[in-house]
């Protein structure tokens, strides 16, 4: 027996498996969403304040490609411990990097 399916969608995600965690994100509010996740998931107060501060700086500099890249690089260096929290947001931040 062969099942044939067609899926047509814009900006969607497909996941196959039994233990799937998905975060629905809004491109226009990536900085707000990041701050909410930071407040919810990061327990260490020093790390929490660092990330909230750098996200604010990223948001403030989203139209300054050079400064945004500098801040983004610093952000990436620091997120290693929290990669599972931040990885869904990285594709949304990359659009602000210089081409």
Residue 74 lies in a domain: yes
Q: Number of structural domains, the chain? A: 1
What is the structure's pLDDT at 8? 45
Question: Residue 57 in 3-state DSSP?
Answer: helix
Domain containing 51 equals 27-94
In degrees and rounded to multiples of 5, residue 83 shows phi and psi of -55, -40
| pLDDT interval class at 61 (50, 70, 90) | very high
pLDDT at 65 over 90: yes
Residue 5 lies in a domain: no
Residue 77 lies in a domain: yes
Exposure string (b/e) for 74-95, b if CB count within 10 Å is 16 or more? ebeeebeebeebbebbeebbee
Q: How does pLDDT run across 2-20, given as a tens digit for each residue? A: 655 544 443 445 555 555 5
Residue 47 lies in a domain: yes
Residue 49 lies in a domain: yes
Residue 68 lies in a domain: yes
- Yes or no: say if 42 and 82 are a contact pair by the CB < 8 Å rule: yes
Give the C-alpha separation, 98 to 46, whole Å: 30
């Amino acid at each position: 027996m062969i099942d044939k399916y067609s899926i047509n969608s814009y900006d969607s995600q497909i996941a196959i498996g039994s233990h799937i965690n998905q975060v629905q994100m809004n491109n226009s509010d990536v900085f707000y969403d990041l701050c909410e996740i930071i407040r919810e998931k990061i327990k260490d107060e020093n790390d929490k304040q660092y990330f909230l501060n750098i996200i604010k700086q990223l948001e403030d500099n989203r139209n300054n490609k050079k400064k945004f890249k500098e801040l983004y690089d610093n952000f990436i260096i620091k997120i290693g411990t929290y990669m599972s929290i931040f990885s869904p947001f990285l594709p949304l931040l990359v659009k602000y990097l210089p081409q």
